[in-house]
Amino acid sequence: MSKQVKEMILRDYTSRLGDTQDAVVVSLAGINALATHKIRTNLAKKSMKVTVVRNSLFRKLVDDSALKSLQPVLKGPSAVIYGGASVVEVAREIVASLKEFPKIELKGAVLDGQLFTGDAGVKALSKFPTREEALGQTVGLLLGPAKKLAAQIKGPGSNLASLIKAIELKLEKGEAIAKVG
């Protein structure tokens, strides 16, 4: 392959990936064209993209980027899947696709520079919370103690209010109220 062709392929990868920092690498070898098209279409509906890469050229491209961690898994046929809201959602979609397309080989994924290797790594990543889910959990953890404190402060006040209401009802009925001594 000539140097000009290699440069053209690298420019194509650069334009496709942009500033992507997280991705999943799979092998689609052994999957026919119709199934591959269906996988790509399902992913495209969720704003995820698939780029089949030449490993040596892709390694050169990511050598100084956040995707550098993927280099050890770039062996054999490789397709890089990226996009969507987060790489966790990409991993979830690919793991879900395994039910219909069991020949997909999960090679690895990178999240914040950390490599998740192989089938087990990608499946573990798919169980992580997304950014929005993690923020929701954090907010819940922060508000939990405040809710408990508010309930504790409110508790004695509501007891006192119910006692005053009971005294008021007795007085309205004309009943006597016993002195507390």
- What distance in Å separates the CA atoms of residue 24 and residue 94, rounded to the nearest whole number? 9
Examine the domain organization and report whether 151 and 64 are in the same domain: no
Examine the domain organization and report whether 144 and 122 are in the same domain: no
pLDDT tens per residue, range 123-170:
888 887 776 776 777 777 777 777 776 777 776 767 777 777 878 887
Examine the domain organization and report whether 110 and 42 are in the same domain: yes
Examine the domain organization and report whether 20 and 96 are in the same domain: yes
pTM of the model: 0.70
CA 110 to chain centre: 12
Positive or negative CA dihedral for 160, 161, 162, 166? positive
pLDDT tens per residue, range 75-99:
989 999 998 888 889 999 999 988 9
How far from 108 is each of 45, 57, 73, 126, 181, CA to CA, in Å?
22, 18, 6, 12, 75
- φ/ψ (deg, to 5) at 109: -150, 160
Residue that has been written with the tokens 């491209």 in this structure: 61
Examine the domain organization and report whether 71 and 108 are in the same domain: yes
Examine the domain organization and report whether 108 and 171 are in the same domain: no
Query: Count of domains in the chain?
Result: 2
Examine the domain organization and report whether 82 and 140 are in the same domain: no
Please give the angle made by the CA atoms of 25, 74 and 60, to the nearest 5 degrees. Answer: 110
Range of the domain at 158: 130-181
Assign residue 45 the CATH number of its domain: 3.30.70.1730
Examine the domain organization and report whether 114 and 77 are in the same domain: yes
Examine the domain organization and report whether 27 and 67 are in the same domain: yes
- What distance in Å separates the CA atoms of residue 31 and residue 13, rounded to the nearest whole number? 23
Question: Which of 128, 149, 168 is the C-terminal boundary of a domain?
Answer: 128
